[in-house]
């Protein structure tokens, strides 16, 4: 057996604003004094989970709330109802709506996208930084098809199945950026949509402005036989 010596300690006040994997809440000193309002919450809210909190000499009477704060919360619930509606939830279903999400890995965040109801009201969701070399059933979203390219960071589109489109594959001649292009037929008018990603570590050159003129040729051309396909 070896004696243990406390090598590090932190008061409740100093711990405020920090998060710890484990927390010991010692109420010994509080029981000797008049409990301060809100102090118990500060002590018990520093750990990542309830299971990782250990209490010493805890009694429910040590927890004191601020009556003025409770009264204000009740007043706001009665008089200040939050009635704001997300703009994407009020889109005209007959219009073409386009948005962008920097997904930062489909593997990690496809589930979040599937449950983001306002975003799913869009006709087309442009995504960047997919980090997906191939698409699986885990990336599928009901009523959407996915079009994209397995390039280093990954770019693509989630497109509503109600949208008619043709995918075009342009030579990736702009070495500083990643992009993917589709051509839509909206209200009998051609619409070219390009999703572009540039890493913060990359620097655009004059070639970007020169090669950009290539996109103007899409409206005059026919789909490439080597174009990408609906892969999800």
Neighbour-count burial of 81, counting CB atoms closer than 10 A to its CB (0-12 exposed, 13-18 middle, 19+ buried): exposed
Residues 118 and 39 in one domain: no
Is 198 among the domain residues?
Answer: yes
DSSP 104-127: S-HHHHHHHHHT-HHHHTSSEEEE
Last residue of a domain, one of 52, 79, 106: 79
Model confidence, pTM = 0.60
With cut-offs at 50, 70 and 90, classify the pLDDT of residue 174.
low
Q: Tell me the CATH number at 150.
A: 3.60.10.10
Is 150 among the domain residues?
Answer: yes
Residues 109 and 74 in one domain: no
User: For residue range 105-156, what is the model confidence (pLDDT) as tens digits?
Assistant: 998 999 999 999 999 999 999 999 988 776 777 788 999 998 887 677 889 8
Residues 194 and 161 in one domain: yes
Residues 42 and 144 in one domain: no
How high is the pLDDT of residue 216? 55
Residues 99 and 66 in one domain: no
Q: In the structure encoding, which two tokens stand for residue 160, read together?
A: 């509503």
Q: In the structure encoding, which two tokens stand for residue 101, read together?
A: 């999400």
Helix (H) or strand (E) holding 44: helix 39-44
CA separation, residue 197 to residues 78, 101, 158, 164 (Å) = 46, 11, 16, 24
SS (H, E, C) 83-110: CCCCHHHHCCCCCCCEEEEECCCHHHHH
User: Residue 33 in 3-state DSSP?
Assistant: coil
Residues 143 and 190 in one domain: yes
Residues 108 and 30 in one domain: no
- Domain hosting 127: range is 95-212
**Distance of alpha carbon 216 from alpha carbon 231, whole angstroms:** 26
How high is the pLDDT of residue 98? 95
Residues 142 and 45 in one domain: no
With cut-offs at 50, 70 and 90, classify the pLDDT of residue 168.
low
How high is the pLDDT of residue 1? 57
How high is the pLDDT of residue 177? 76
Residues 101 and 151 in one domain: yes
């Amino acid at each position: 057996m070896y004696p243990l010596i406390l090598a590090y300690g932190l008061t409740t006040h100093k711990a405020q604003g920090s998060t710890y994997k484990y927390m010991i809440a010692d109420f010994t000193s509080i029981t000797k004094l008049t409990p301060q309002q809100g102090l118990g919450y500060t002590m018990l809210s520093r750990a990542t989970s309830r299971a990782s909190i250990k209490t010493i000499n805890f009694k429910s009477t040590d927890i004191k709330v601020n009556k003025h704060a409770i009264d204000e919360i009740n007043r706001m619930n009665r008089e200040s109802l939050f009635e704001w509606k997300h703009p994407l939830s009020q889109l005209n279903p007959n219009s073409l709506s386009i948005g962008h999400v920097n997904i930062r890995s489909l593997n990690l965040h496809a589930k979040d996208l599937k449950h983001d109801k306002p975003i799913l009201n869009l006709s087309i969701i442009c995504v960047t930084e997919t980090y997906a070399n191939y698409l699986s059933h885990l990336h599928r979203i009901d009523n959407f098809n996915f079009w994209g390219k397995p390039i280093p960071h990954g770019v693509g589109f989630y497109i509503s199945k109600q949208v008619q489109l043709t995918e075009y594959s342009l030579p990736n001649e702009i070495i500083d950026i990643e992009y993917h292009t589709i051509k839509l037929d909206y209200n009998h008018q051609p619409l070219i949509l390009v999703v572009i990603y540039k890493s913060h570590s990359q620097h655009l050159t004059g070639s970007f402005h020169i090669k950009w003129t290539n996109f103007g040729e899409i409206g005059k051309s026919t789909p490439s036989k080597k174009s990408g396909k609906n892969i999800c």
